[in-house]
Amino acid sequence: GPAAAAATAVAAASVLSDDPAAHRVLTGDRPTGPLHLGHYFGTLRNRVRLQDQGVEMFVVVADYQVITDRDLADRLAEHTENLVLDYLAAGLDPERATIFPHSAVPALNQLLLPFLSLVSVAELGRNPTVKDEITHSRQSAVSGLMFTYPVHQAADILFCKADLVPVGQDQLPHLEVARTVARRFNERYPHADGSAVFPRPQALLSEAPMLLGTDGGKMSKSRGNAVALGATEDETARIIRGARTDADRRIGYDPVDRPEVSSLVLLAALCQDRAPEAVAEEIGDGGAAALKRTVTESVNEFLRPLRARRAELAADRGHLRQVLRDGAERANAVADATLAEVREVMGAAI
């Protein structure tokens, strides 16, 4: 369960001080809408740090996960390009990081068949994140695609033999499935010399593994509670003005008893690179209005350079598509090699 999964997560700092060449990273997002501050502080910043440390990185745009959502499928290409735009604005460098759309890598998707054979329906049914996503889904019936989502993610992670996955907290149960798939595959299909085909991937959590949105729930693209990285300063102010708080004028940092106020304090603190207690102390008895002013200013100041880069990059849609094409080419080469190895250890005739 999530508690056991948390035990397998590692802190970014321990990896960053480690040997960068010894690791390979896979992360990604579904192209369901603009990236927000939860993504930035939850995973994106760690990705950029790891990339800058010289760790080899693959970033998957999980487009197959949303093609069945009619609202999104109409504008899938646009959503996919916009995700790349957010990545580049945040500091991912397509020369160093391989950014590719899931649907463009057939060999990756072919790993699904053996992987599906390694997990039971009961195990998939117990996954708390899938349950939660089903609850929030606009779809009325649960599709096989949605139900098997953690197995697709296992294929995304294992196709490039990633050992590190920078993710938010909600992804820990999925990571556990990927670890299970890797372990069972290695047990059932070892190389002739007994060595394992796949590493057992570890989650890499950030300082903000679950940033809350303006309604007090997990900040999410699909819940209308997020500050998008690419939002204007006015939009940012409006969204934060509408955030839920409480009636206590004294601002404090107490995530358990005052989650809404504390998540706003945390947001300002992350943007200012200070301790949340210090930010709360400074606002003192200013109440929700002063808190929201501080948060708005901090967020807008923090995001200003990212937004400027984003505006520049947005002018060249052709470049965004080229990034995806180049990434797909590199990802295909890696996926073909892994699939060949998988077919060999599984005893394929040719």
Binding residues for ligand ATP, rule: CB under 6 A, are 29-30, 32, 38-39, 42-43, 167-168, 170-171, 208-211, 218-222
- Residue 286, classified by CB atoms within 10 Å of its CB into exposed (0-12), middle (13-18) or buried (19+), is middle
Phi, psi (rounded to 5 degrees) for 38: -60, -40
Q: How big is the CA angle at 327 (ends 69 and 73), to the nearest 5 degrees?
A: 10
To ligand ATP, the closest distance from the beta carbon of 333 in angstroms equals 25
Integer Cα distance of 265 and 270 in angstroms? 9
Strands across the sheet containing 164-166: 10-11, 202-205, 164-166, 24-29, 56-61, 97-101
To ligand ATP, the closest distance from the beta carbon of 70 in angstroms equals 15
Integer Cα distance of 54 and 323 in angstroms? 19
To ligand ATP, the closest distance from the beta carbon of 337 in angstroms equals 26
Instruction: Please identify, using beta-carbon distances, which residue of 211 and 339 lies nearer to ligand ATP.
Output: 211
Contact 76, 192 (CB under 8 A): no
Instruction: Please identify, using beta-carbon distances, which residue of 52 and 71 lies nearer to ligand ATP.
Output: 71
Instruction: Please identify, using beta-carbon distances, which residue of 208 and 339 lies nearer to ligand ATP.
Output: 208
Instruction: Please identify, using beta-carbon distances, which residue of 64 and 185 lies nearer to ligand ATP.
Output: 64
Residue 271: HSE in the Cβ half-sphere, 13 Å Cα cutoff: 25
Contact 303, 90 (CB under 8 A): no
To ligand ATP, the closest distance from the beta carbon of 350 in angstroms equals 38
Instruction: Please identify, using beta-carbon distances, which residue of 30 and 310 lies nearer to ligand ATP.
Output: 30
Integer Cα distance of 291 and 1 in angstroms? 36
To ligand ATP, the closest distance from the beta carbon of 29 in angstroms equals 4
To ligand ATP, the closest distance from the beta carbon of 340 in angstroms equals 29
Integer Cα distance of 130 and 170 in angstroms? 10
Instruction: Please identify, using beta-carbon distances, which residue of 256 and 315 lies nearer to ligand ATP.
Output: 256
CA distances from 60 to 161, 214, 215, 279, 348 (A): 14, 28, 29, 36, 28
Tell me the two tokens of residue 324. Answer: 């995806």
Contact 43, 206 (CB under 8 A): yes
To ligand ATP, the closest distance from the beta carbon of 321 in angstroms equals 21
Instruction: Please identify, using beta-carbon distances, which residue of 37 and 197 lies nearer to ligand ATP.
Output: 37
Instruction: Please identify, using beta-carbon distances, which residue of 23 and 39 lies nearer to ligand ATP.
Output: 39
Q: How big is the CA angle at 258 (ends 256 and 264), to the nearest 5 degrees?
A: 110
To ligand ATP, the closest distance from the beta carbon of 226 in angstroms equals 7
